[in-house]
Amino acid sequence: MSRHITHDRSYDTVDRDAFSVMMDVERYNRRSDAFDEIISATHDHFWDPLNPVYVDFSQPFDIDNEYIMPPEQVPELSGAVYDRLDEGQRIRLANESTRWGVSSILHGEQGALSLSASLCHILVDPGAQEYASNQAREEARHVTGFAKYIAHRWGSAYPVGDSLGSLMEELVLAPEVYKKLVGMQMLIEGLAMGAFANLHRYTNDPVLKRLVQLVMTDEAFHHKFGKIWADRTIPKLSEEEHCIVEDWAAKCFETLLFNLTNIRQKRAIYPQFGLDWEWVRDSVREVYRDRDSKRRNDLKDPTNIMRVLVKTLLNAGIITDRTRPLYANWIDVDDLEREEGLHIGEAIAADGIEYLKELNKGRKVIGQKPI
């Protein structure tokens, strides 16, 4: 089906209701080896969010008196907002902003879980199907991990933002496989790697630091699934198909950027501090207008969330001169193209895998618990 835009048998699909195709005896012997390496590596990054050996959620953190993320990482704590609040309110506002961000991650992980499960219904290749089911399992433990973290720190999550919720619903329900792979496996997974790298680098909470590193050990492989699709598909696209994929990527980028930076998406936070969200928005905008050069320098930080995402699209050959100006409004694309080597998220994930290999050495399993 041309609308799926795959160009490689490894990503062939059928209608989600065509289950009889899955029982075709010839299909079982047409397994691609494209995903064997990332499937076989699963045991290298095994972890269990229900076992404190891996991450102990009961470790205390005083959210009323300590910043989970430093105040300079919280856009609201700039300009007029900072001046209006006392120090205790600043800490609480910063931590509520972190709560909103981690809640968005939790919702994103649920989206990734549901999307991976949906791929199992439409991917024909047994290897691709096994990979998708494997990812669904890993996304499920991410949902458990972030749900437990939020429960221990705040009790409950914030609702999903309007833009992120709409995008994930569109991705999960989309029949076109290219939308799922570009939107989730490349963009949202790329966004996640940037977000996790940022949290890992700056957080003062050792539980959050450990959790995001463990999640990154999985996400690095999920990201590769989308990269395999890009490597096997992008060079074979017609000009029309490339425009379709490129425009879809740009649309997803703008939606994710809007969810990340638009104060309106976080409007549930501010009434408890006596603040109007529009006033908060205007105060943050004023600071950015006055310090545009500083904002540009901040965006060059290798852990910047959007930089990881844009580099993924650049490396895949999805961004051309047609859409380059859109990304250049936020990222120095020329500078990004000159960068070589691993981005910091991949380095953190690699360290996490080595940690898990050592932790899991000689592991025997009784039920769910390593002994």
Predicted confidence (pLDDT) per residue in 69-126, tens digit: 999 889 888 778 999 999 999 999 999 999 999 999 999 999 999 999 999 999 999 9
φ, ψ of residue 13 to 5 degrees: the values are: -135, 165
pLDDT tens-digit readout, 173-228: 998 889 999 998 888 888 888 899 999 999 999 999 999 999 999 988 887 888 88
Task: List beta partners, residue 123.
Answer: 13
The residues near 51 (Cβ < 8 Å, ≥ 6 apart) are 368, 369, 370
Q: Report the mean per-residue pLDDT for the chain.
A: 88
DSSP letter, residue 123: B
User: Which has the higher per-residue pLDDT, 62 or 265?
Assistant: 62
State the pLDDT at residue 203. 97
Could you tell me which residues come within 8 angstroms of residue 194 by beta carbon, excluding any fewer than 6 positions away?
303, 304, 305, 306, 307, 308, 309, 345
Structure tokens at 279: 């006033």
- What three-state secondary structure class fits 124? coil
CB 136 within 8 A of CB 106: no
How distant is the alpha carbon of residue 305 from its chain centre? 9
Q: Of 7-11, 48-52, 249-253, which gets the smallest average pLDDT?
A: 7-11
**Under CATH, which architecture does the 61-362 domain have?**
Orthogonal Bundle (1.10)
Amino acid found at 23: M
**Dihedral pair phi/psi, residue 369, rounded to 5°:** -105, 125
3-state secondary structure of 237: coil
Hey, is 13 helix, strand or coil? strand
Q: Which residues share a beta bridge with 13? A: 123
Residue 232 φ then ψ, to 5°: -90, -10
Q: Supply the pLDDT for residue 341.
A: 63
Asked if residue 345 lies in contact with residue 197, where contact means CB atoms within 8 angstroms, the answer is: yes
Please, which residues have CB within 8 angstroms of residue 75's CB and are 6 or more apart in sequence? 97, 261, 263, 284
| Residue corresponding to tokens 């965006």 | 299
CA 332/CA 340 separation, integer angstroms:
15
CB atoms within 10 A of CB 229: 26
Sign of dihedral through CA atoms 121, 124, 128, 129?
A: positive
The pTM of this model reads 0.90
Residue 359 has pLDDT above 70, yes or no: yes
What confidence tens digit (pLDDT) does each residue in 117-167 have? 999 999 999 999 999 999 999 999 999 999 999 999 999 999 998 889 999
Is residue 120 within 8 Å of 9, Cβ to Cβ? no
- E strands in the chain: 365-366, 369-370
Backbone CA torsion sign across 280, 289, 98, 326: positive
Nearest residue to 12 (alpha-carbon basis) of 30, 36, 29, 38: 30
